[in-house]
Every structure is written in C-alpha cells, then in structure tokens.
Amino acid sequence: MSNRDRILELALRLMNEEGAGAAGTTRIAEELGISPGNLYYHFKNREEIVRVLFDALDAEFRSLLIEDADPPISASRFAAFYLRSFDLAWRYRFFFGGLLGLLRRDEELAARYRALQDWAIDELEGIATQLVKDGSMARPRGRDGLRSVALSTWLIWMNWIRFLQISGRETIEPSDMAAGVSQLFDVLAPYLDPAFEKSARRALARESPKRG
C-alpha cells in the first residue's frame, strides 16, 4: 500500500472513531511513522484529505444510485439500494456526523457537497417517478409530491448518523443503520403498493442480519 493510501486509510479510521477533527496532519504522520514532509507531498492539509475521502463517498453513492435506477425497479433492488446506501453512510460516518462544521471550514468541499445533493435529489425523484410508472407506488398528492418524497429520502439518509449522535448514544454500531433503513421505509410506506412493500421488507429482513 502506498503512503498516500495509508494516509487516507488512517485518516478515515481516526475520524470515524473520534470525530471529524481527529485526523490532524501531525498525528497522522506520527502514527504512520513518516515525516511531515512526506505527508505534505501527498496532501497540503487536512482539508485536502477530507476532500479526497468525500470524493470517494461521492463516487460510490453515484455508482450505486445509477446501478439500481434502471427500469423496472424490483422490490429486492429497491431494498438493496437503501441497504447499500446506509452501509456507505456507515463507512464514511465522520462526514455525516460532522457535516456542518466540515462544510463551514471548506468552501470547495461545500460546493462539491451541494453538487452531489442537487444531483441525488433529482435522481431520487427519477426513481420515485419510475416506481409510479411501474405501478409499485402511488403518485403523492400535490404538484411537487414526487420531489417531496425524494427530498424526504435524502434528508433521512443524510441525517441519520447525526440523529443517533444527538440521541445520546455513546457508540454507534453498524446494526443501528438498519433502523435508519426501516425509518425510511416507514415514510415511504403510505405510497408503496402493499405487495411491493411486503416484498421489499422481506428483502430487508433477509439482508439486514448479514450487515449486523
């Protein structure tokens, strides 16, 4: 493994375990046994490390969202998308937990995040639209009903980690993410075809223990 990859791996672990402010460049260099100059050869500062980690999160989320958006959308694929998206949130939980502070400190990161958010809400609206076409979901009332469903989906996904933190949990476990998926499904349930929802929840039940 290259020093660059070792830096990213350690920074991700430290920030996930101790919070977004944990991975200072001096600490990373000391723990890896490399000189500060070696670290700065790869990354100018901690903000640049965070940007690279966010870019990886961004690419993974876009990939899994596009992969599961091809019509028709089956119940199992619908469930799998949300399970994988919450798995992704767990792997980069430092970002979700420290989102506001990270974006306030780095305008470039904030711009990248907004671009992902705008794209994701459009794509999630497209998935909801396709589910309506497939007969798997009733069209929500109101001119912007589908957009509202997409926005609600995004807000639950983006804020689940912080909800757990604010709830006073001393530690957050991978199994806690399954509850986030269930919460999201509870919000979508009034719109989903009952048979489709039942099949999707069966798929969730099959896969969730594997992620515990």
In this structure, are 180 and 80 located in the same domain? yes
What is residue 169's predicted lDDT score, i.e. its pLDDT?
78
In this structure, are 73 and 39 located in the same domain? no
State how far the Cα of 78 lies from the Cα of 69, in Å rounded to an integer: 9
In this structure, are 66 and 39 located in the same domain? no
In this structure, are 63 and 124 located in the same domain? yes
Give the structural domain span for 160: 50-211
State how far the Cα of 32 lies from the Cα of 30, in Å rounded to an integer: 5
pTM value?
0.92
> Band of the pLDDT at 68, cuts 50, 70, 90?
low
Residue pair 167/113 in contact by the 8 Å Cβ criterion = no
CATH number of 99's domain: 1.10.357.10
Q: Each residue of 8-30: pLDDT tens digit? A: 999 999 999 998 888 889 999 99
Residue 36 has pLDDT above 60, yes or no: yes
pLDDT cut 70: percent of the chain above it: 97
In this structure, are 39 and 66 located in the same domain? no
Residue pair 7/49 in contact by the 8 Å Cβ criterion = yes
> Band of the pLDDT at 32, cuts 50, 70, 90?
very high
In this structure, are 107 and 131 located in the same domain? yes
What is residue 210's predicted lDDT score, i.e. its pLDDT?
55
Q: How many CB atoms lie within 10 A of CB 75?
A: 20
In this structure, are 39 and 99 located in the same domain? no
Q: How many domains does the chain have?
A: 2
In this structure, are 181 and 82 located in the same domain? yes
CATH number of 30's domain: 1.10.10.60
In this structure, are 198 and 159 located in the same domain? yes
In this structure, are 1 and 98 located in the same domain? no
Q: Each residue of 122-179: pLDDT tens digit? A: 999 999 999 999 999 999 988 899 999 999 999 999 999 999 999 987 788 888 998 9
SS3 state at 60? helix
